[in-house]
Structure 1
């Protein structure tokens, strides 16, 4: 991030910046990464394009909710401590978590065609945000034929294997291609990432991650309190899924519906509600924890499920960051990162079509509204939250 000369931010600054995104960032993890790029690379300049792509590539390799992990890392780097990461996490996560708890208590019912139109507009603005991210990152991270070819190869891999493993394979392909094809480039002046975490802290975080992954099932078998079993189910869901987002839902269903903790209809209602709120899809855990048939449920269940599903991903990024800085400065690692960063562009391009485009565009009017949002963001330089509001109203008008 060529971050070492940038002034540190306060916890309040970090929290408010991510709270704004937590209230307005619709569209899933890929769209969130686009929002982050606009907010923290293009507008606030907390981090540069290559540094941001490095963080995205790292978090794509790690299990857990990738966009939340990137946000946690950005907050940690900006504020100079893990408290900054927690402030970013709280700001980005609490709005959707509270909304979903409200839905679970019956406060989110109703809306009819008005709500449907607004939600359609929010899906369309996600198209514009991701398109802006693809365009901006392609110019910076795939500016020559070699890296453009790597991006294209990653796009093909993502299209032919549209799974979380396919995403990891695309990043791995990019890194390997970078090692083979991008070593002739002069070493990049990376500077220092200024990670405010010691290697001891990283090692402790990694030990906690693996200790909880192995220990929670044993504790659940030995201790009859239902809360341990709930923590185990949600922790495993967060620890074993790459890319996050929709991929976590089958694991959550197996962990909550199959043992009879939640009815299938209630689970599907929570899944539908999670599509309608901003922020990370993992916050569906707050809804599920609230509607559990047995204690701990309600607010206690929501808090437990929410903490358990996000904890493994945050432990992993905390563990990886202290080692990532030194690794990325080595010449071979830089070559691999050039290829990996180009592959990120290909992954974003694949996701721009499916699920972002296919989930939002149904007519020529949709194309026109999404294109208008794209022009406002890129040529007009309009703040993303304003574009979100205008496009939501446009979706309502089209409905």
Structure 2
């Protein structure tokens, strides 16, 4: 999707890139760049130039146009949607230098990456690390090709920030589990094919009683009810499980390992969200703040915004945003081997949330009354979009782990501060 940090998601979240990446001679890099450029030119439909990745959006899949389908199938078949994922599961099998070249060449012609969603952002990297060989071969190819949508079954009505209090129970029935319970804030659950969920398999232990289970969303006993948000959209839903049969082979890791696996997955999620990928990129859509300010506030004889205070705040925001983008890229380029995202993603997530909300607040302030419209002929489409973007942005510091939760992670795991009774 459109973002101020083009295609950073794939650089940051491809946790399984080879640790043995070699420094390539310049001519080898040039050869691969030419190959990538020619392949993109031959496969990317010109009609899609500058458009978004519908697969990454959580508003629902919609109907693919023939060109959108052609592009998704081409990138999915090539494996370049997840360029550094292992080739044996359909990924690109590229090293990081080659992946950067692919991203640069896509950006050069205004092409989006058609492979996205929670399968790419969170579940895929986690399964590559914890899944069995059979699970990888069953689930990774569908993610690579953009054919299977995944949703996340974590939060419950009584277990949000205190996720370990979850009560959705998976009862051992021999060759399968029988799942009963409820999840909430299931992003895209009403459109998803499958769900990766944290469930309780042992009621006598809190963290050690949690397991990581894969559930088909079309299984008998699964029901979803969309939640309408203040922005007017319904990208989330409540999900109910009533006597849902789940095969034992859908358990990832072993019973009681769910908290460890689920925490690792959240690191991948925060890494993606901090980069403005996935749904968070919506906040960066549209024109730049300076261009919006010039349009609505006008300029003086020297070509500057006449409001000096506003000008200063916009400059500060632009500096913060660009410094953040460079920090993300540096962190991505310095990542080695299978280390994947660390607790430092909590810092990135908090900073990214603040910048996202600052941008929305600035745009609404700049537009004045025109930035507060909900409907009607007196407002342009851009103005109505900004209103909804501003309202949507309030959730950025909540989903993926609230800012307060991230502060706890930063204090404990980065600063080494422990709780004292």
Q: TM-score scaled by structure 2?
A: 0.26
How does the TM-score come out when normalised to structure 1? 0.27
Larger relative CO (CA 8 A, sep 6+): 1 or 2? 1
Give 1 or 2 for the bigger CA radius of gyration: 2
Higher strand share: 2
